[in-house]
Each structure stands twice: as C-alpha cells, then as structure tokens.
Amino acid sequence: MGISRRDFLKLSGAGAAAGALGAAGVTSANAEEKEALRTAGSKKTTTICPYCSVGCGIIIESKDGHVINVEGDPDHPINRGALCPKGASIQQLRENPKRVTVPMYRAKGASEWKEVEWEWALEEIAKRVKKTRDDNYETKSILKSPDGDKEVIVNRVSALASVGSAAMDNEECYLYQKMLRGLGVVHIEHQARL
C-alpha cells in the first residue's frame, strides 16, 4: 500500500501524541477515574453566583474546609450547567491568600490599613452614616421649569450612596431598600450594573 507524505506526517503525529499520553498514564478512561478520585468524599453544595444579576446556579464541592471544585449546575433553569469565565473561576473567592477576612480600617491621613474588630467597625459606620445624613439632609429643593421655579418637598440625602450585591436575596433586598429609603438615600446602585 502506498503512503503519501501527508499521510505519513498525520500518522506519526497521532502516534507521537498517543505515545506521550500513554507514557504519562493518561487515557480517557483513567482521566474520568482520576476526576472521581479528586472529588471523592467531597461535600456538594448548590449556590448562586454572586457576580452578576444573571444568577447562575453553581455546584461547589468542598473537602476539609476548602473548595476543591466548581461546576455549573445542570439542573439550574437559568444556566443549565454553563458558567462564564468569571463564574467558573469563583473558587478563587475562597481559596485565595489575598482574601480579606476581617474588617480593615485606614485612618484619615494614614498610609497603612489595620485590622479592626467588627463591633468597632459597625459602630463607626453607623456613627458616620448618621452624621452624614444629619449634616446633609434636604427637605426642600427648587424645581426649575419653563413656567417658573417651584419649591418642592424632597426629603433626601445626596451625600450617601449605596452599591448593592447580586448575592442578596429578595428579603434582604426588601430590608436594605427600606433602610436606605428611610434614611433618604437616593443614589442606590447595584454591583451587577458596574
């Protein structure tokens, strides 16, 4: 049987690749076995991707307190198993030495951040929100119109703003909105729109 130069190159390329994989002990059958071993004994938890408002379903596999695998949830009606690169890399949110796990504070004029207690941080935030609101609360504003300027009641504070999160559920959003509207905050944004 005659063999062309092109056939020869194809055959030798395929043979070399198969040889290299075989030498490394990788076949399609044992690749599946290895995957099973890697995640054996792990706990599966379903969750929602917090990055954007699409809200894809994710299966997180964890073992010994660490996330060891992340997959799109095939049973989730929104993404049906698919994840975008951002969602697929979500393991790095947890398994990341740079992850900040305690509140940090950088005082005015300081160049360094320092760790602080939650209690102190929450009290400080509440104090500053209250002061900013009290100092900047407007009850009335001038509405400009071609028929003449008109004074209107606004009851608002423009010196505060809020950025919400796609990880919040309906109930949290309800309470959060209620609190912000109660304070008079009008600049209410969402992280998924940034």
| DSSP β-bridge partners for residue 48 | 57
Nearest residue to the partner ligand SF4, using Cβ: 87
Q: Which residues bind ligand SF4 (CB under 6 A)?
A: 49, 51-52, 54-56, 79, 83-84, 86-87
Closer residue to ligand SF4, CB minimum distance, 84 or 129 = 84
Closer residue to ligand SF4, CB minimum distance, 72 or 157 = 72
Closer residue to ligand SF4, CB minimum distance, 76 or 156 = 76
Question: Is there a contact between 140 and 151 (Cβ–Cβ < 8 Å)?
Answer: yes
Measured in residues, the chain has a length of 194
Instruction: Quickly count: other Cβ atoms within 10 Å of residue 136's Cβ.
Output: 13
Give the whole-angstrom CA distance, residue 26 versus residue 32. 10
Closer residue to ligand SF4, CB minimum distance, 57 or 160 = 57
CB 82, min distance to ligand SF4, A = 8
CB 135, min distance to ligand SF4, A = 38
CB 72, min distance to ligand SF4, A = 7
CB 132, min distance to ligand SF4, A = 32
Question: Is there a contact between 60 and 176 (Cβ–Cβ < 8 Å)?
Answer: no
Outline where DSSP puts E strands in 36-184. Answer: 43-48, 57-63, 66-72, 104-105, 114-115, 138-143, 150-164
